[in-house]
Every structure is written in structure tokens, then in C-alpha cells.
Chain A
Amino acid sequence: MARELWKGNEAIAEAAVRAGLEAYFGYPITPQNEILEWLSHRMPELGRAFVQAEAELGAINMVYGAACTGARVMTSSSSPGISLMMEGISYIAGTEIPVVLVNVMRGGPGLGNIAPSQGDYNQICKGGGHGDYHVIVLAPASIQEAVDMMPLAFDLAEKYLTICCVLIDGSIGQMMEPIELPEMRPAQRKDFPWATNGAKNRPRRILTSIYLDPPEEEKTNLRLLKRWEAIQANEIRSKEYFLDDAEIVVIGFGTAGRVALSAVRAARAKGLKVGLFRPVSLSPYPYARVAELAGKAKAFLVVEMNAGQMLDDVRLAVNGRIPIEFYGRLGGVVPFPDEILDEIQRISTADLQLDGNPVADWMKRMEAMVR
């Protein structure tokens, strides 16, 4: 199939349609509006459901209800809108049903701005809603990767009866790249053994997140945890660049990862032994591979468009064995490759300590820079 030039948000929406999306519920917010706009004409055209809800709270609960029938459903939003959805997200997790969520992150906290950010890593990877649950979080760095991820997101959600979130930032949503779309599939609604799809001639089924008897809720929590174990064992994804002889390994996801790729190439051109590790599944996190790389590299540089949220996961994997440095830009600022190249060059000659505090050290350098 010939390549076509698509805007990120529209490509994600069309990829979801082609993956068999049967119903979409959402509410507009920049910079993810084009997902909603695209689906508002595309879904009715195909005889599928599109509802612009009265607000995010309505949208996530419509998704909740539709998912109970076994239909392929999704919603999308941007940071403040995802915060509004958190109650429903926890209910969906507690009800053990498949839902796909797209978060096109923007600058925060609060109303913030509409510029690209990665400030919602902790929110989606470490909980967000109340209770003990995990979400599968996938972070593409290009539009093709995002497009390829949409069918996967639905498959994973249905396989593990969980929420699967595709986490991008405003720049991936707004930019255009050549892509190949997946083949068109009809709307998918499997006859799941749990689906509340009409009880004629069979016993009724109940889907709920209420377990008033604590031992029953404990069993439910253990069931969620059992599934999470399987997800951790089977669904780790990452991409690697120039790692074979790398002494410094840069680690970044999504847009920060691809900006770092430019910096790593520039550093290679200067003869520095640098590579890039780009986690694609942020939850489950590729701890084992990061730990393995820590056994070979001299130092890590973690690059994020936040204040070091994924850094904590890297530190967990490294467990103090090699020095870790951090570089972040905040509040909707996207780093340029030369900023990361400067960091790589600094690290290549610095006398790094194992007991350093990467965030405190970075803040000192930042304060001098943004003054």
C-alpha cells in the first residue's frame, strides 16, 4: 500500500476505526480535537456509534457501559480531561472490562497550556484513580508506531480485561508523517463469556466494581494482580538504537526519545559511544532490560518532558549500580537535540558519583538556564 501523509490525531482515529472500533465517546479538548473530529464523521458513515458527551465524566461512563456489552470502545482526551475521567477509569479497572484510552498530553499542572508535555506519566502508569489496579500504557514516538499500536491496544485490553492507554503528547498529535494504515476490519464485538449483551435463554450476568464483602474484594484484587503478572511477563516492549558498544545510554520515551535520537546521532558523529533505549511499554516497564544495560554501560542519561517521573523507574532497575543523570524540560517546553547533546558531552567527561541526586543536580543547571 502506498504511503499517505496523515496528521497524528487523525491517523490514530482512523487506525482505531480500522481495528474495529464500534463506539466512541468523548469530549473536545486541544491538542486531541482531531481524533474526535475525525470520528464524528467517520463513525456515522460506517454505521458505528459516535457520541460527543456533555463532559468527560459522561464520556468515560458511556465507555464503561458500552464496554460491558463486549463492543470495541474507546475514548480520548488530553491531560485535564483525563484527570476528570479518573473515577470512571478506576470503576472500569474494578469491573475487569476492556477499554482503550488515548491521552494526548499537554502542559500542566492545572489548566496549563496546549503545548506538548509528558507530565502525566505517573498519573497513568502509577494509578491515577483509586484502588489497586494497573493500566497497560504504550508510548509511540512516531505516527506509524501509533497507528500500528491501535489494533494492539484493543487486542491487549480484550486479552487481559484491562484498560490500555496509548500515551502521546501534543506534538505527535499535531504533526504529519507518511504512514501505512492497517486493513479495514468490521466493527468488533466478540461474544465474551462475561458480556452483558442480553440474557434471553441464559442466566443473567452481572458486571460491577462493588464488592461489599471485603474477602470478595480481596479475591478480585488478587485476580487483577494475577493478570498483571501475566502482562509483566508477556507485554514488555522497547526500541534500541546504537546500544552494542554504548558507554552512555540515553533513556527516553515518546517525543523525548525521538529528540534524543537526533542527539545520539550527533554524538556518534563526534565519536562518542552513545546509544538510545526507548521504552515503548511504560507500564509494564522494561525493568529487566534496563538492569541488563546497567551492567554494560558506564552511565545513563534519562531525558523526559517532565521533572523526572520515569527516572524513578530507571533508578529502581539500576539499583545504584551506575550513575544516572537527568535532563528534563517542563510545562510544555520541548527540548532541542543540541540541549541533549550538551548533556551527553558533559557526562562523557564528568566525574560522576553513584550517590548523586540527578533531579537536584539538574535543577541547579536548569535554574541557571531559564533565569
Chain B
Amino acid sequence: MQTEIILSGFGGQGIMFAGQVLSYAAMDIGKQVTWIPSYGPEMRGGTANCTVVIADEEIGSPLVKNPSAAVVMNLPSLDKYEPMIQPGGVLVINTSMVDRSAMRSDITVVPVACNDIAEEIGTPKLANMVAVGALLGGLEALTASDIEAALNAHMPGRHKHLLPKNLEALNKGIENARKNMIKAK
């Protein structure tokens, strides 16, 4: 059993960290995991993406062409990754930054206004954690409590005061995903 997730957006949207949170959670429940970033000029501003592979056995390729899930935080990312997702896979769309719907009906689509929700809870930077929450409903490999435990265990001490807000963002993402999810046909 292998799960592959591509997370993509503008540099600065917290995409890399979101992928690392998933990786910490996978590691802590005893899975094999790889996290690989795009590390080109996008580190300095353009679009950025990372790929997380979670598996029970030694992981081969850390890069995948057809992921089982994608989280797209902006329109260029939706255009790029929607066609790549495996049939039956999951697509989380940040509708705060994307003005079109998904075109495919053979994948589960989760439209969630990540930036708006993050603004509502008073921490605009946490759009990434809302997106992680939104992804969990469609993901078998990890549960909300796995993510909570990972945040608790691996957040550096100086950031620990941000934990409650992170969990709030995560739970808002889960709630909204439940409401908005369009299951694969």
C-alpha cells in the first residue's frame, strides 16, 4: 500500500511545511516516508511543490507522475496537477485562490476556502493547515489524531504557543471538507 501526495502553490503559502507535517505524522505511526521539494528558483518566489510518499515497505521513487492525492493552493497548480491524479484519487482545491471548479468527476474533489478560513480564525498564515485538514477526509493513510500528535511532538518549542491555532485550522479544514466533498463517480 503506497500513498503519494503532491502539494503545490505559491512560494510562501506554507506548502513545504504542510508536506513535512504529513511526513512527520507518517513517520510517527511507523510508516516509510519520503518528502521531496522542488528546490529550484521557486524557492525564491514562484510556484513551489513537494511530493510526499507514504508506504509500508522501502520506498522506490520519491517522485511520482500520477499521485493518489494533490493539494492545489493556486490556479497554476490546479491546471498542472488535476490531470495527473490517479482515477479515484483526491484533489483538494483552495477556492480562496482558484476561480474555477475541477473538471474531472472520476476523482474526489474537496473545495475549501483555505485562506478565508485562516483569516476567520485570525491567523492568515495557517491556510496550509486548513488544507491539510481538508485532505484528511479523503486520505486513508493518516488520521486527524496522527497529525495532531505529530504537530505536538515536532513543533519547535519557540512555536509551541501556535499549536492551538494550528489545531483549530486543521479542524476547520476537516469540517469544511465534510460539507463540501464531491465524491468520485
Give the interface of A toward B (CB within 8 A). 3, 5, 30-31, 114-115, 142, 170-171, 174-178, 258-265, 334, 336-338
Contact = CB atoms under 8 A, between A and B. Distances in A.
A115 B42 CA distance: 13
B135 to A, nearest CB: 19
Nearest to B35: A176
B40 A176 contact: no
B65 A5 contact: no
A98 B33 CA distance: 35
* Chain B contact patch, size range: 20 to 34
27 contacts: A3-B27, A5-B23, A5-B24, A5-B27, A5-B35, A5-B154, A30-B39, A31-B39, A114-B39, A114-B40, A115-B40, A171-B63, A174-B36, A175-B34, A176-B23, A176-B36, A177-B33, A177-B59, A178-B32, A258-B59, A259-B60, A261-B60, A264-B60, A265-B60, A336-B64, A336-B65, A337-B60
A259 B34 CA distance: 13
**Which among A31, A114, A171 has the highest number of chain B CB atoms within 10 Å?**
A171
Contacts of A176: 20, 23, 34-36
Contact of A170 (B24, B32, B39): B39
B23 A171 contact: no
A174 B19 CA distance: 14
A170 B39 CA distance: 9
A312 B130 CA distance: 51
Given A5-B27, A115-B40, A178-B27, A334 B63 contact: yes
A177 B34 contact: yes
B142 to A, nearest CB: 14
Interface in B59-75: 59-65
Contacts of B63: 171, 259, 334, 336
B37 interface: yes
Contacts of A171: 36, 62-63
A292 B112 CA distance: 57
A242 B146 CA distance: 33
B36 A5 contact: no
A264 B39 CA distance: 28
Contacts of B64: 336-337
Contacts of B120: none
B184 to A, nearest CB: 22
Interface string B66-109: 00000000000000000000000000000000000000000000
A32 to B, nearest CB: 11
A3 B31 CA distance: 11
A199 to B, nearest CB: 48
B140 interface: no
Contacts of B23: 5, 176
Contacts of B65: 336, 338
Nearest to A3: B27
B22 to A, nearest CB: 11
